[in-house]
Structure 1
Amino acid sequence: MKQAALDKTPKKLKNPSDIQVRFRTGLVYTVVTVVCVLAGNIPMLLMLMAVAGICAGEFFYMLRSDAKLPNEMLGIVAAVLYPPSVYFYGLTGAFLVNLALLLALLVWYVFWTRARIPDVGVSFFGAAYTGLLLCGLVVIRQSLGNPWGGVLVLLIFLSVWANDSFAYLVGCRFGKHKLAPRTSPNKSWEGFLAGLVGSMAFWCVMTLVPGVTMGIPMALLFGLICGLMSVLGDLAESRIKRNSGFKDSGTIMPGHGGLLDRCDSLFLAAVTSAILLVAGGCIPYVIM
């Protein structure tokens, strides 16, 4: 029966192209993200914890190939704890996780003679990079409550995805001038500019969300800044992979590589969005 079913399967489904695999994986990732973000605070919190833990694991795996010896257990645990700490205790929670991580790493450094100061630094950076930066989405989600907090966070995701997608599509079709050939040779200035336009467009949509006090000029400016941060995050991860000798950070997402490859643009954009929206008086800062 299995063979009969296989024989009836269209050839394009049995042997999907790279674009098809990339599209299907991206669709699953997008659906899961949208459902978790809109379902409520706890589903989104659990999603962010999972993303932080997986991305931290991929980050430390790559760094081990770059002659580093990070403490993966402490780094991954801290990355996972950042989002719930901010959700339940605000900035105080993030400070407590920072302090606990630093103390644990210092004890590890003192009593494990193979550990070096660069290993301590890499362990701390990896946790903060993959966990702490995502806490900006927690702050935004809490600022407006349900359902509009979730809608605002979703628009942040969409702005990042639009940045990546516009840059990829326009770069493939019209890209002629390399943006950063030594770090990411496939990126072009044409794609870079198109990505910024996509980011700014979704930030303009945010002005329509109830509870958000932001005009179009401010939205364009904030969209531009977050678009730049998205590109910086992407290039930073590309530099890490190049230094470590990796093409992809993992294999969890066929067609995309690792989850870190998919979320690299999100980290800086998440924390930058929270800072801009709160500091700009666009949303209230709610401390749970």
Structure 2
Amino acid sequence: MTGKGPAIDALKLLSGFAVRVLTGGGIAAIMLLVVFYGQTTGVGVLFSLISMASVRELYRIIRPNQKYTTDFLGIAMTGALPLAAAYGGYSGLIAATALGALLCMFVHCLLLGLRTSECAVTIFGAIYIGFMLSHLVLLHNLESGLIIALATILGVWANDVFAYLIGSAFGKHKLAPRISPKKSWEGFFGGAVFTVATWAALSLFPQANLELYELIVIGACIALTAVAGDLLESRIKREAGVKDSGRIFPGHGGMLDRFDSLIVVSPVAFYLYLLMGA
């Protein structure tokens, strides 16, 4: 009897880990294929769809009892931003964000007569998800950005998988108990090590145009930002009393649960890559 408890716990850990790896690995594989083989249109459409699905979940979390059909405008604006980045570059993204925000303010406050807080939520969702994630499209379109975009996706996936595995097996010290009770410092450092290792491996590819120390710095920043993105979404869900943003992916929850880290990591990877002189 005494040996059954640990054995059952180990089986549950392995089962949960397997589901998480298979689901996350499948999603990452699809994204990597599109980013690697896809042209401007394919990459823009991919992240447009991801952004729209994610922001829809965000709106449902923040305002579940919304009686107005205002989500449509925010979803449309969010989906337009990655496409603007794909075809118009950075200036196109900035212009689309500004014009979209103005349109939201005009429709919400003047045409529909809604409270300014409703307008703020709509614009927040579009910027938090659409604008941020569009930086991965910008990164992909840089002359040497393809391999960095691939490393960004792989680094976030490695962080998620190994933080979960190491945290589940050895986690004792809580990272942010009030926001995400299951996260531990052991899991954080475990995920960070493998994220940095993923980026350090880019030193084997001259296309990256970065020195080893620069790759390590970017990898460390990505690891920190990935956890921050995860905790940010956890805080939003906790305030709303929601466990998962959706039920699309086994072991991961909804679309926003799956991409919360990548959303915040994308601009960090883009600007650091530019800062390093790429």
CA 1:83 to 1:199, structure 2 compared with 1: closer, same or farther past 3 Å?
same
Give the secondary-structure state (helix, strand or coil) at the position aligned to 1:185: strand
How big is each residue's C-alpha offset from its partner over 1:197-233, in whole Å with a ceiling of 9 and x where there is no partner?
Answer: 1111111122333332221222111111111111100
Q: Please report how far the alpha carbon of residue 64 of structure 1 lies from its aligned counterpart in structure 2 after TM superposition.
A: 1.1
Is residue 101 of structure 2 the alignment partner of residue 102 of structure 1?
Answer: yes
Which residue of 1 is the match for residue 10 of structure 2? none
CA 1:70 to 1:220, structure 2 compared with 1: closer, same or farther past 3 Å?
farther
Q: What amino acid sits opposite 2:94 in the alignment?
A: F
Give the secondary-structure state (helix, strand or coil) at the position aligned to 1:252: coil
Bigger drift between 124-133 and 179-188 goes to 124-133
Give the secondary-structure state (helix, strand or coil) at the position aligned to 1:134: helix
Q: Please report how far the alpha carbon of residue 25 of structure 1 lies from its aligned counterpart in structure 2 after TM superposition.
A: 2.8
- Number of residue-to-residue matches in the alignment: 262
Which residue of 2 is the match for residue 261 of structure 1? 257
Q: Please report how far the alpha carbon of residue 49 of structure 1 lies from its aligned counterpart in structure 2 after TM superposition.
A: 1.0
Q: Please report how far the alpha carbon of residue 136 of structure 1 lies from its aligned counterpart in structure 2 after TM superposition.
A: 1.7
Contact 1:45 1:83 in 2 (8 A): yes
Which residue of 1 is the match for residue 190 of structure 2? 194
Contact 1:70 1:122 in 2 (8 A): no
Which residue of 2 is the match for residue 30 of structure 1? 28
RMSD: 2.0
**From 27, 38, 41, the counterpart of 1:40:** 38
In the alignment, the residues of structure 1 paired with residue 189 and residue 20 of structure 2 have an alpha-carbon distance, to the nearest angstrom, of 23
Q: What amino acid sits opposite 1:273 in the alignment?
A: A
Contact 1:70 1:119 in 2 (8 A): no
Q: Please report how far the alpha carbon of residue 119 of structure 1 lies from its aligned counterpart in structure 2 after TM superposition.
A: 1.6
Q: What amino acid sits opposite 1:78 in the alignment?
A: M
How big is each residue's C-alpha offset from its partner over 1:13-64, in whole Å with a ceiling of 9 and x where there is no partner?
Answer: xxxx655544443343133112211112232222111111110111111111
Contact 1:163 1:196 in 2 (8 A): yes
Q: Which runs of 5+ in 2 are unaligned?
A: 1-14
Contact 2:25 2:157 in 1 (8 A): no
TM-score of the superposed pair, with normalisation by structure 1: 0.85
Is residue 112 of structure 2 the alignment partner of residue 116 of structure 1?
Answer: no
In the alignment, the residues of structure 2 paired with residue 125 and residue 140 of structure 1 have an alpha-carbon distance, to the nearest angstrom, of 22
Is residue 210 of structure 2 the alignment partner of residue 214 of structure 1?
Answer: yes
Which residue of 2 is the match for residue 11 of structure 1? none
Which residue of 2 is the match for residue 85 of structure 1? 84
Which residue of 2 is the match for residue 144 of structure 1? 143
In the alignment, the residues of structure 2 paired with residue 69 and residue 207 of structure 1 have an alpha-carbon distance, to the nearest angstrom, of 51
Q: What amino acid sits opposite 1:55 in the alignment?
A: S
Which residue of 1 is the match for residue 149 of structure 2? 153
Q: What amino acid sits opposite 1:208 in the alignment?
A: L
In the alignment, the residues of structure 1 paired with residue 241 and residue 209 of structure 2 have an alpha-carbon distance, to the nearest angstrom, of 45
Q: What amino acid sits opposite 1:39 in the alignment?
A: Y
Q: What amino acid sits opposite 2:53 in the alignment?
A: I
In the alignment, the residues of structure 2 paired with residue 165 and residue 24 of structure 1 have an alpha-carbon distance, to the nearest angstrom, of 10
Q: Please report how far the alpha carbon of residue 140 of structure 1 lies from its aligned counterpart in structure 2 after TM superposition.
A: 1.7
Q: Please report how far the alpha carbon of residue 184 of structure 1 lies from its aligned counterpart in structure 2 after TM superposition.
A: 0.2
Q: Please report how far the alpha carbon of residue 255 of structure 1 lies from its aligned counterpart in structure 2 after TM superposition.
A: 2.2
**From 246, 259, 271, the counterpart of 2:242:** 246
Contact 2:90 2:138 in 1 (8 A): no
In the alignment, the residues of structure 1 paired with residue 68 and residue 38 of structure 2 have an alpha-carbon distance, to the nearest angstrom, of 38
In the alignment, the residues of structure 1 paired with residue 201 and residue 68 of structure 2 have an alpha-carbon distance, to the nearest angstrom, of 44
Q: What amino acid sits opposite 2:221 in the alignment?
A: I
Which residue of 1 is the match for residue 127 of structure 2? 128
Which residue of 2 is the match for residue 49 of structure 1? 48
Q: What amino acid sits opposite 2:27 in the alignment?
A: Y
Q: Please report how far the alpha carbon of residue 123 of structure 1 lies from its aligned counterpart in structure 2 after TM superposition.
A: 0.8
Contact 1:60 1:72 in 2 (8 A): yes
Q: What amino acid sits opposite 2:122 in the alignment?
A: S
Give the secondary-structure state (helix, strand or coil) at the position aligned to 1:179: strand
TM-score of the superposed pair, with normalisation by structure 2: 0.88
Give the secondary-structure state (helix, strand or coil) at the position aligned to 2:183: strand
Contact 2:74 2:104 in 1 (8 A): no
Q: What amino acid sits opposite 2:48 in the alignment?
A: M
CA 1:209 to 1:152, structure 2 compared with 1: closer, same or farther past 3 Å?
farther
